[in-house]
Structure 1
Amino acid sequence: MARSGDIGPVEMSRQVHLSPSQCSRRMQQLRSAGYIARVAAVLDAPKMGVGVMAYVLITLRSHEPDWLERFEQRIAQMDEVLECQSLTGEADIILKVATRDLSSFNTLLTRELLTAPEVATARSSIILEDLKSTKRLPIRFAE
């Protein structure tokens, strides 16, 4: 089965052996029920000028709600931040970032993240090789 989110009902019907109208109707039902949040294109990082991807573990200075809100607003303005999750454990936040090169990564880390008043510490790990990367969820858990 294809892994492309942009196939139409005709191509889908060939793969799942249902009529195009049935496929279209079922896809609309999945969207309406909230199972499909969005369909997105996966861009080629090197062709887009991205040469460095990294994870950054952030420890916040305070856990007050307004500090976290200010940090979230700051992160939302940074195009380099691809993902931002709140964590349990030693760090408070993990970021996945994408930059052009090591110099731009250094600038992001030292001039934008470490100087943010909400940030106490930041530790980074540069991704050397992308062994597996997907947004596909295991469908066996769906109700």
Structure 2
Amino acid sequence: MSRVLDRFDLRILEVLKSQGDIGPVEMSAMVHLSASQCSRRMQQLRAGGYIARIAAVLDADKLGIGVNAYVLLTLRSHEPEWLDKFHRRIAAMDEVLECQALTGEADIILKVATRDLHSFNSFLTRELLTAPEVATARSSIILENLKSTTALPVRFAQ
């Protein structure tokens, strides 16, 4: 259900990407449309798939997350059954925040969050390196978070 987005739709998406829990009344003041128009447009944007989901951004420090890292994996095989097993294994790991397939030397990149270096080492050695689908792993600890966002640029929308 794709449709052409106008400037009001784009403004609504701009607001929603940083304030996902905003209601139509608050939205109307920000985009200069009536609350009923905002409500209708917000529903259409959800129904059209422009809004994949609404989620809370949790505070890592308050949750005891002290180590974030990227892990580059090389897989032993690219056979479909091996990949399916690997996908299921990664999906079950709470520590894995993101998992993407790559071109280049590594096959997979993971973004991982753990309590501390000890728990990261345990995760790496007991969960990832023992997985039969994984041939090698290289990790890099994030020292400082310079930018982290879930806000996609809406200027590319068509």
Q: For the superposition of Structure 1 and Structure 2, which TM-score range results when normalised by the shorter chain? A: over 0.9
* C-alpha deviation, 1:4, in angstroms: 1.0
Match of 2:79 in 1: 64
* C-alpha deviation, 1:6, in angstroms: 0.7
Match of 1:124 in 2: 139
Quote the Cα distance in structure 2 between the aligned partners of 1:89 and 1:30.
Answer: 36
Quote the Cα distance in structure 2 between the aligned partners of 1:89 and 1:68.
Answer: 18
* C-alpha deviation, 1:65, in angstroms: 1.0
Match 2:43 to one of 9, 25, 28: 28
Match of 1:97 in 2: 112
Quote the Cα distance in structure 1 between the aligned partners of 2:89 and 2:143.
Answer: 27
Match of 2:70 in 1: 55
Quote the Cα distance in structure 2 between the aligned partners of 1:71 and 1:138.
Answer: 31
Q: Is 1:75 the equivalent of 2:90?
A: yes
How many residue pairs get aligned? The number is 143
Per the normalisation by structure 2, the TM-score is: 0.88
Deviations 1:21-74 (A, max 9, x none): 100000000011100010111001010110000000000001111111111111
Match 2:123 to one of 108, 112, 131: 108
- Structure 2 residue identity aligned to 1:61: R
Structure 2: state its 5+ residue gaps: 1-13
Q: What's the Cα RMSD here?
A: 0.9
Structure 1: state its 5+ residue gaps: none
